[in-house]
């Protein structure tokens, strides 16, 4: 009877953890680094009641992560494994940049400005193509902010990564083309 009760409790805990992971799938979360493996460089992070591993391949090159650091990670996928649910997290995924811009730029969050494409070479350079649905709103200017304040916060979070913001322009024939307006270092 004890064994059956313990098994039921374990299954309920796994179910709760799976729900926690699925709720945060494709989202940006702030995690606390609990441990860094000195051999592999993988960091164990904790967000909420969940715990996950950030492998070295998903960390920004040149970035030093220490125990106790608070970092933002992107939950790429959630998988059910033998040892319970696992969240695959990343700091190199283009979705991280998209979510950072959504947090920082209210026009993107509201849908006035849309991110059309992201190309990222993590740790080095990111190119972001933006389009405004309102002709009175400058998409690139909204992303940069006053004196570059909005984009500066994102650059700081990404460890000094260069961000190029490109405006997507639609001409009368409906053909889309891009014009590089701003290169932020």
The per-residue pLDDT for range 41-85, each reduced to its tens digit, is 999 999 887 889 999 999 998 889 999 999 999 999 988 877 778
Residue 82: both structure tokens together: 């033998």
pLDDT score for 19: 85
pTM beyond cutoff 0.85: no
pLDDT digit string, tens, across residues 22-35: 888 899 999 999 99
Q: Is 150 left (phi over 0), alpha (psi -120 to 50) or beta?
A: alpha
Dihedral angle, C-alpha 139, 142, 143, 149, nearest 10 °: 160
Q: Give the helix ranges, DSSP H, for the chain.
A: 2-23, 94-104, 106-110, 139-144, 149-157
Residue 173's pLDDT band, with cuts at 50, 70 and 90, is low
Q: Please choose, from the candidates 81, 86, 83, the residue with its C-alpha nearest in 3D space to the C-alpha of residue 54.
A: 86
Which of 1-26 are b and which e, b meaning 16 or more Cβ less than 10 Å from the residue's Cβ? eeeeeeeeeeeeeeeebbebbeebee
């Amino acid at each position: 009877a004890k064994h059956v009760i313990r098994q039921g409790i374990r299954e309920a805990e796994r179910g709760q953890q799976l729900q926690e992971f699925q709720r945060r799938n494709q989202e940006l979360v702030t995690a606390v680094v609990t441990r860094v493996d000195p051999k592999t460089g993988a960091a164990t992070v904790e967000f909420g009641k969940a715990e996950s591993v950030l492998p070295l391949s998903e960390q920004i090159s040149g970035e030093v992560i220490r125990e106790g650091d608070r970092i933002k990670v992107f939950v790429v996928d959630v998988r059910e494994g033998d040892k319970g649910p696992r969240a695959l997290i990343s700091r190199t995924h283009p979705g991280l940049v998209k979510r950072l811009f959504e947090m920082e730029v209210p026009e993107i969050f509201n849908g006035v400005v849309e991110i059309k494409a992201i190309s990222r070479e993590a740790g080095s350079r990111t190119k972001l193509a933006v389009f405004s649905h309102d002709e009175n709103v400058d998409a690139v200017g909204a992303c940069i902010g006053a004196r570059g304040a909005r984009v500066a916060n994102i650059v700081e979070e990404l460890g000094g990564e260069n961000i190029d913001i490109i405006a997507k322009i639609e001409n009368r024939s409906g053909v889309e083309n891009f014009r590089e307006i701003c290169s932020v270092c």
